[in-house]
Structure 1
């Protein structure tokens, strides 16, 4: 206990630096796949784009050619939608948080090439990439 009291500033410094290291990941909604990287995966490796938004959100705007699998139905419908587990998956939602959860589910089901789009549809739109409305 004496060590903690004598060196409180070191503990505060360690916690602050850890928080600063985590900040970009928490702010971006997880994932490290940029919109430009996603476009390359789609064009070069025939990645399948899966949008885990609810049906209403999907209808309001989504990546061109994306398949809608709301997160609540994701596990049940993924195998029927994407049969080839070797294909890369680009998983998208509005901000990136739901997509990150879906990546975990996809990997659990054997889709090792699943990645979440960092920043979600917000980042896609900010990059001025095409959006389709249903």
Structure 2
């Protein structure tokens, strides 16, 4: 039995390597989110923050994505420009800030950067504009 297992491992190591990498990628996202301390909000919670707490929305997508539609009242700062836009965001330091992208991945990175810069009421829109649209919420161009 041990010989069969050893033979399998020796002959199928590329398959095992791919499986290991996939497992890392699957579990890396949730661990990263917890580590940076950024809270994700779904579209309904985001609307509540916008309506009741005057949350600021930062859309970190690229210009072509922004042009296809964005959340009403969102401010457009592509992820690559976020670090040089920090000074202009200082006036929002005490506000709730929701970062948003297409699916939630870039917005999590943006939110982590803002959190690291000292913003404490920072959120990432879970599922991004895709989830927003799926919830039937308005988009403007």
Q: TM-score, normalised by structure 2?
A: 0.72
Give yes or no for contact 2:101–2:129 (8 Å, CA) kept in 1. Answer: yes
C-alpha distance in 2 between matches for 1:80 and 1:61:
23
Distance 1:65 1:101, change over 3 A: same
Q: TM-score, normalised by structure 1?
A: 0.75
C-alpha distance in 1 between matches for 2:129 and 2:71:
8
1:46 aligns with 2:54: yes
C-alpha distance in 2 between matches for 1:32 and 1:117:
6
Q: Which has the larger radius of gyration?
A: 2
Give me the CA root mean square deviation.
2.7
Instruction: Figure out how many residues of one structure are paired with residues of the other and give that number.
Output: 114
Secondary structure of 1:36's counterpart equals: helix
**What is aligned with 2:9?**
none
C-alpha distance in 2 between matches for 1:120 and 1:113:
18
Q: Residue deviations 1:41-97, cap 9 Å, x none?
A: 000000000000001110111100100000000111133145131101010000100
Q: Specify every segment of 5 or more residues in structure 1 that has no aligned partner in the other structure, as ranges.
A: 1-17
